[in-house]
Structure formats: C-alpha cells, structure tokens
Amino acid sequence: MKNKLNTALGFYTPSFMRMHVGTDLSLIDYRNLNDNYTESVFLHEFTHFIQDITTVYGLTNICVVVDYMKFVNNDVLKSAVGPFDVPVLPLEGGDDNVFANLELNNIYNGDGDDDYVTFKNHIITKGNVNTKDKVVDPVIIEISYEDEDGLPKNFNFGALCILENMAYIIEGECYSDCELSPDIPYSAAEKLVELIYPNLGTNRLNILALCDASLQVHHPAEFFYHLLLKMKEEKVLFTTPEEVYAYSKTLIKKDVDLDLLLRQQADMAIFQLKGYFNDPYFDSLKNWLEYMINRAVDFRLKNPFFPLDIARGKALKTNKEFRNFFLSIGTPLITNNLGAVYLYDPNNSSAKLNYPIIWAINQINQVFWGYQRHCELKDVCRAGKFNVDSRCDTSPWDRVIDENLCPFATVWRHWKLAGYYPI
C-alpha cells in the first residue's frame, strides 16, 4: 500500500497507526483547535485510521505489511553479520507468497495523481500474478481522462482513490470550507459515479456509503466498479444512503458472511502485529493493539453505518458519533509540526507505554525498502530524554550499542539485527 495517505496539511501512515497534522497547534484535545482548516485535516487523517482498523481492506493490508517485515528480518539473518543490500525484495514465486501479496496489493491500490480532470471512458483489464499455488488475474479498472489542458491520459482506479475520496467526502460534509484537493485521487470515486451512474451521486453520502461498503472486501475497486454497473443496469434508486450498504450485499456470494470476514481479518491482523514482539517487555504494547482493533471491529459491527453518522455530525466539537468512536477506541499516534506526540488510549492512563515503537517499526520498514537512512523520531526521543545525535540522521541502527535504547534501536536489537546495516 502507499506509504502515506496525504492531504495538503497532513498524512496518515497505513498499518502503523500514525497520523500527522501540519500545524503548530496542540492536538492534545481536538475540541480546542478553533481552526476549521486544521480541524478538517485532523478529521480527514483520522478517517484513514478508521479505515485501517474497521475494514477488511485495511486489516488485510496490515497483514501484508507484517509479512513483508518478517520476510526481511528472516532474510537478513540468513547472512553473516554486516552489510545487507536495500531494498530487500522477496523472490517471485516464493512459498511464502510475500512477493505475490505485494504485487496484488499494488494492483488493488491502483495509481493516479492529477489536479482537474474529466473522465471519458472506463475499461477492464486483467493483471497476472504468480502465487505459490496458481496464477491469478485480478481485475484492473482503467480510466481514460483529459487533464485541465485537454491532454488525454489514463490511470488505474483502485483502493487508494476509494480511501481518499471517502475521507474527502467526510471532511467536506463536516467542513464546507475545507481545502480543495486534486481530483485524482480525492474525487475519483465521485467522478466515476458521475461517468457511469450519476443518479447515485444526487446524494453525496450515497457515494460515501459505496466507498465504505467496498472497503469490506479484499479488492475494493473491483467491488465498487461492478456494483456501480449493477446499479446502472437495474436503475436502482436509494431513499437513504444506508440502503447502499444493504444493496452492496447483493454482489456478495451467499456463502460469504461479511461480518465474519471482518472479524477473521481482525484476528489475523492482531496475530500478525503481535508477532513483531516475542518478549514480555512488549506485552503492554501488544495489549494496546489487540484492544484497539477488537474494540474498533465491535464498534463497526454494532453500527455498520457509523461513517455516515460522522459525516452528518458536522464540526468535530459537536460531532457525537466521532466522539463516541474517539472515546471507545482511542487514537493513533498523532504528531504536529513541532514534534509533539499525542495519543489517547481509553484502556491505559499510564504514560509509560512505549507507543512510538510502532512508529519506529515504520521507520525500519522505510529502511528495508531503501527509502531512507534516517529516523524521524528525533523530537520524540528528545522528549523521552534520549541522547539525539548525528546517528539519527545517517545510521540509527548504530544506536543498538547505547545503554539507553531509543525506539528504533529497541526494535533493531529485539529483531536480532545488531551488527547488521543497510547499504
């Protein structure tokens, strides 16, 4: 999946429970922001957190990421202590299916980034991915469009468009003056609806419901697209957006229970995340992850339409459904431009739980992919009384020799990577 889901003022890092809001304001209590611009970005990025832990797609993506991290760790440890090449890439056709799952994820995610566009046409093509058991041919939805200069272009409509457009709709419904964002990906789902079946878009919340429902399967874009075509064929009209959720189940095989699928995927994600840590030292961190995901899935199953209620709730200060989720589930790790870190965990009032460990694992993920050689946790570490130095900018893995281990070095040593370094 894309490393960061972005807006102009913030981003969310999927699978690592961290969101950033580009402001100097304190984020310790979102109700005290008094700035619609910052509030709207906060809500947009928090929506990605909701998608991460209450949808089949988000939870599946967590499993794919953890599988990759485990593969790299095992692969590096097969070699002698010392340098290893990055990026560390799995072999095609491997028995572990790590390569195949990453390939499928890329197809499911889709692509595309453009400002002002006009959709012209849509076609289906097929991918080709070798798993350990068979060759699969996932559906690819290719959209042709014209950019603002009238130049013909195309892109693959995928889950990234659905994730971003869903968050953009919630943001726009709650804050009518929210910042305009590029049509692709932020309005791509709406534009596809306009192209194929514009009747659905007469109520924008219908599209929100379709996006959210589509995230409850492994290939959201295929589901979204075929459901849209089915709506057009049957000329279906909806009285309320809730009816879109019910209608979406008509595309599901009779022997597939979506609630059970969500619960199973949550159990797998929890199992995978806990696999990062095999030392009792991390038990409280594992408990946080397990509690948060289980509570989030329970919240979803009790009210499968709650994103609609958040969108109807308007500004954060008075948004009851957002507050209900916030108080019940908590938050991801939240950062601002000053390096301050905030997190609310309804199950733990202690400040001792090392939540930034999850962010440190994200930094190691970036190192494994060859995207960076530094660690972004310097401000967090300063606040935690760690001795920040030049190694943080060039070789954070060298900090494993320190007596007081920073979050990055804690994970690096725990994974038995002391003495290994990327080149």
Residue 137 burial (C-beta neighbours within 10 Å; 0-12, 13-18, 19+): exposed
- The answer on pLDDT for 234 being more than 90 is yes
Q: Which residues contact 366 (CB under 8 A, 6 or more apart)?
A: 3, 372
Tokens of 210: 């379709």
* pLDDT, position 349: 65
Peptide bond into 280 cis (omega under 30): no
18-21/83-84 β-pairing: unpaired
Query: How does residue 95 score in pLDDT terms, banded at 50, 70 and 90?
Result: confident
Mean of the per-residue pLDDT values for the chain?
95
3-state secondary structure of 19: strand
- The answer on pLDDT for 390 being more than 60 is yes
- The answer on pLDDT for 394 being more than 60 is yes
Mean pLDDT, residues 282-293 taken together? 94
| pLDDT, tens only, 339-354 | 889 999 998 866 567 8
Mean pLDDT, residues 64-82 taken together? 97
* pLDDT, position 108: 98
Tokens of 178: 């929210």
* pLDDT, position 161: 98
- The answer on pLDDT for 7 being more than 70 is no
| pLDDT, tens only, 197-208 | 999 999 999 999
More confident residue, 245 or 383: 245
| pLDDT, tens only, 112-170 | 999 999 999 999 999 999 998 889 999 999 999 999 999 999 999 999 999 999 999 99
- The answer on pLDDT for 5 being more than 70 is no
C-alpha distances in angstroms, 364 versus 183, 375, 376? Answer: 32, 8, 11
* pLDDT, position 383: 84
Which helix (H) or strand (E) segment is 141 a member of? strand 139-146
Query: 220-234 vs 188-196: helix axis angle to the nearest 10?
Result: 30
Query: How does residue 26 score in pLDDT terms, banded at 50, 70 and 90?
Result: very high
Query: What is d(CA 322, CA 319) in angstroms, rounded to the nearest whole number?
Result: 5
* pLDDT, position 1: 54
Tokens of 254: 């009779």
Tokens of 205: 């919340």
The model's pTM is 0.96
- The answer on pLDDT for 410 being more than 80 is yes
* Amino acid in the structure at residue 329: I
| pLDDT, tens only, 42-63 | 999 999 999 999 999 999 999 9
Mean pLDDT, residues 285-301 taken together? 96
Q: CA gyration radius for the chain?
A: 22
Residue 351 burial (C-beta neighbours within 10 Å; 0-12, 13-18, 19+): exposed
Closest CA to 269 of 16, 1, 3: 16
* pLDDT, position 106: 96
* pLDDT, position 290: 96
Query: What is d(CA 423, CA 419) in angstroms, rounded to the nearest whole number?
Result: 13
Name which of 2-16, 65-79, 87-101, 391-405 the model is least confident about.
Answer: 2-16
Q: To the nearest whole percent, how much of the chain has pLDDT over 90?
A: 88
